[in-house]
Amino acid sequence: MILILWDIDGTLLSSHGAGTRAMNLAFEECWGIADAFDDVVMAGCTDPWIFRQGYEQHRLAEPFPEALGRFDGAYRRLLPGVLAGSRVTLKPGLPGALERLATRADVAQGLLTGNFEHGAWTKVRAAGIDRYFATGAFGSDDEDRNALVPHALRRHRERGLDVTPERTVVIGDTPKDIACARAWGARAVAVATGGHRLADLEQHAPDLALSTLGAGDALDGFLGRLPAR
């Protein structure tokens, strides 16, 4: 079985800043500080890590675990409304690539994202693509993105799938997605549909680099070259 693990923001979809707006609103609701994350570079980072930057920058006195829980609760409540007032658009080549892979009996598709789990499902539902994924790994599993692949493997194995790192492919739009795959011996496919140019991504030596996910033949050919069990 080939396991495809998809990043969300910049890879599958764009929420046109809705996630950041909801995070800023949640922080302001909890601690009265507006635009708390405006100086934080979020691409490829987990939501707990992003929150930690705001927590440290604004010197919150509350213990971190309790503060993270408060923030997560406010963000969970605010995100759906912010998304509803925004545009959520799929990246080029989608949903065609998802649909094509869904027809293959030897492929399972999951999520691997820095989003809190509830935020991940809220976003893919808003984009109308949640039906392609059963489970995955999320920022709520670990603050360190490089620790997420084992969570995704475990959850897919719990669903009865025979998945291994060697036949797992992480698809994402940042160097952090490539590093996440490399940390566990998975394959990395980089797509230049987020904030990084194709040439920049290629410098991090992914197994495959694509300008968009519309290049179906290239992705299919790459999957065909994965080692057999």
pLDDT per position as a tens digit, 121-149: 999 999 999 999 999 999 999 999 999 99
For the chain, which residues make up each domain, given as ranges?
Answer: 2-15+89-224, 18-84
pLDDT band at 215 (very low <50, low <70, confident <90, very high): low
- Cα 226 from Cα 229, distance rounded (Å): 9
Cβ neighbours of residue 53 closer than 8 Å, sequence gap 6 or more:
37, 40
Average pLDDT over residues 193-202: 94
- Cα 39 from Cα 17, distance rounded (Å): 14
Give the largest Cα separation in the chain, rounded.
Answer: 55
How would you classify the pairing of strands 2-6 and 168-172?
parallel
Cβ neighbours of residue 113 closer than 8 Å, sequence gap 6 or more:
6, 7, 8, 9, 120, 136, 137, 138, 139
- Cα 120 from Cα 27, distance rounded (Å): 19
Q: For residue range 11-34, what is the model confidence (pLDDT) as tens digits?
A: 999 999 999 999 999 999 999 999
> In the predicted model, what is the mean pLDDT of the chain?
95
Q: For residue range 62-80, what is the model confidence (pLDDT) as tens digits?
A: 999 999 999 999 999 999 9
> Residue 29: left (phi > 0), alpha (psi -120 to 50), or beta?
alpha
pTM, full prediction: 0.94
- Cα 215 from Cα 101, distance rounded (Å): 13
The per-residue DSSP string of 70-89 comes to: HHHHHHHHHHHHHHHTS--E
Least confident of 38-42, 116-120, 131-135, 147-151: 38-42
Q: Give the other-Cβ count within 10 Å of 95's Cβ.
A: 17
Q: What is the dihedral of CA 71, 74, 76, 78, to 10 degrees?
A: -130
pLDDT band at 229 (very low <50, low <70, confident <90, very high): low
Fold of the CATH domain 2-15+89-224:
Rossmann fold (3.40.50)
Percentage of the residues of the chain whose pLDDT score is greater than 70: 99
- Res. 37: pLDDT tops 80: yes
* Res 146: pLDDT: 97
- Res. 170: pLDDT tops 80: yes
Read off φ and ψ for residue 208, nearest 5 degrees. -150, 135
